[in-house]
Structure 1
Amino acid sequence: MARSLIPTNFPLAAAIIAGLISLGSFGSAFAQPTDIPRTADGRPNFNGVWQAINTANWNIEPHAADFGPVVEMGAIGAIPAGLGIVEGDEIPYTPEARRQQQLNQADWLANDPLVKCYMPGIPRANYLPFPFQIVQSTDTIIFAYEFASASRIVYVDQPDYEAPILSWMGHNLASYEGDSLVIDVTDQMPDTWFDHAGNHHSDALRVTERYTYMGPNVIRYEATLEDPNTYTEPWRISFPLYRRLDENMQLLEFKCVEFTEELLYGDLRKQADATN
């Protein structure tokens, strides 16, 4: 039986509807120049703690609510419905890449690198259900993520700075286009996924991020993804980022390695116990 995309939980429904309204109004909701926080040199000031409110970490494409991987957890372990963040709703995979995505999704709890506390990569780090902090200076911008204490250094107006090796969070070069911060992310490890649904890429992935204020406390995040090994054409995602205005807001520690030890090594412990 097909499941409805409309959640029965009213607060969740209200949140999703609000997100849809926000996404639908992107085109006319950019902040006026006078509303934008600015640095001393006149650039948009993105310093602060930010967080996305969506279900993209489950699946960046539209999806119905579903049973979670551990049915004994009941409703709290179920997968929430989501409208998706992919423009046009569907990722333009090659046929082979779509088949791989479906295989990934069929056993995501065992295969999603994030479950094992690997670095999330870009763009996934920006829509995890964890906050992240932007620390901005003239020639570098640091993104610090609460999940796994991941981080990346963005080099501003340094186009000749080459990536020495592939890395989990990529090689990040930025420039400003008017009041938008544009970051070109390349040289990412091919092992990261975009979500629990197994959406994936190769090491040829190029992500062009764009950060634009919609108001003093809301950023429109857009990213164009290109990977000729995996997709038939470039495609885009977009969603709002909200400034965390909590009093004394700061990133807390989520060193997820300790939570993966039983998952990764539990069988070895059980074997040792059985021989003693």
Structure 2
Amino acid sequence: MQAWIHAAWWMAGAAALALATAAGAQDNAIPRATGYADIEKLPDFSGVWNPDWSLLFGEGGRRPADPSLTPAAQAKFDAFRKKQEAEGVDQEAQVHCLPPGMPQIMRMPYPIEFLYTPGRVTIFAETYSQARRIYTDGRPLPEDPDLLFNGSSIGRWDGDTLLVDTIGFSPQIQIAAGIDHGENMRIHERMWLESPEVLRVETTITDPDVLAAPYVMQTAYRKHADWEIREYVCAENNRLRSEEGGANIDLGLDEEDPFGPAVEP
């Protein structure tokens, strides 16, 4: 009987907390009528965009410059490259279907889509079916943010340019391949339409523990009116099936059971 009473108390308390949270969210919510009217005044980033490196470097393309690193970070990066040359590319993150997180999620060779709602711009990336929520309702950055793959993002409009400030990153992500970030990494982005069909994003990364100078890079996207974001389920195709194609990651599968567990229990 006591267990049942405690369970009932817990459920009642949880329900009250949920109602209080919902009430607080409603108090801070932007009215739909004015909120969607304000959206009509903003630059139209809606639709599906695909990275187009020819817009930055010409048809031949070229590799973007490496960031300027602190001596300790440079030594670590040099060791990473040496190991990569000797052993090949480390695919552990891909094997476990971990998304790249910021800033790399914005540079993947897959499309992105912008969705507008009152007080928020959401960037949906086809890569790993990831969503970035950029709050434009005037809230400040969190003082003690959760450490997330895509961080916590606050944005504001400066004319036709969306300015985004992002902090709070998971220790499992990297600035670039082989370059880990520090606890104080911060990312500023400027997003604007160069034309109705071309969107540019300028990204500035500061990280006093890793970067000797701010790392500035630009990405350009071309709009595809007839494209749709496709479902991206990493685990579904994360096995080497030479006869069928696949992720080309050898997970050590049993030849007699090619669809069995990828690792020993």
Fold in common (TM above 0.5): yes
Residue 46 of structure 2 aligns to which amino acid in structure 1? N
| Structure 2 unaligned blocks of 5 or more | 1-36, 241-247, 259-265
CA shift at 1:258, angstroms?
3.0
Matches within 5 A, 1:103-252: 103-105=79-81, 106-107=83-84, 109-110=89-90, 113-114=93-94, 116-160=96-140, 162=142, 164-195=145-176, 197-245=177-225, 247=226, 249-252=227-230
Kept in 2, the 8 Å contact 1:220–1:240? The answer is yes
Matches within 5 A, 1:11-50: 40-50=39-49
1:7 paired residue number = none
Select the residue among 90, 94, 100 that pairs with 2:70: 94
Cα 1:39/1:126, change in 2 over 3 Å: farther
CA shift at 1:234, angstroms?
1.3
Residue 112 of structure 2 aligns to which amino acid in structure 1? F
CA shift at 1:113, angstroms?
2.9
Report SS of the residue matched to 1:175. Answer: strand
Percent of matched pairs sharing the same residue: 23
| Structure 1 unaligned blocks of 5 or more | 1-37, 56-61, 63-80
Query: What do residues 14-36 of structure 1 show as CA deviations (whole Å, max 9, x unaligned)?
Result: xxxxxxxxxxxxxxxxxxxxxxx
CA shift at 1:151, angstroms?
1.2
Number of matched residues?
A: 206
Query: What do residues 175-216 of structure 1 show as CA deviations (whole Å, max 9, x unaligned)?
Result: 011210011111011222344x42432232111011011101
Name the CA distance, whole Å, in 2 between partners of 1:98 and 1:258. Answer: 37
Higher relative contact order (CA 8 A, sep 6+): 1
Cα 1:114/1:193, change in 2 over 3 Å: farther
Name the CA distance, whole Å, in 2 between partners of 1:158 and 1:264. Answer: 44
Name the CA distance, whole Å, in 1 between partners of 2:193 and 2:92. Answer: 32
Cα 1:164/1:193, change in 2 over 3 Å: closer
1:52 paired residue number = 51
Cα 1:45/1:120, change in 2 over 3 Å: same
Report SS of the residue matched to 2:174. Answer: coil
CA shift at 1:230, angstroms?
0.3
Name the CA distance, whole Å, in 2 between partners of 1:172 and 1:92. Answer: 25
Which has the larger strand fraction?
Answer: 2
2:24 paired residue number = none
Report SS of the residue matched to 2:49. Answer: strand
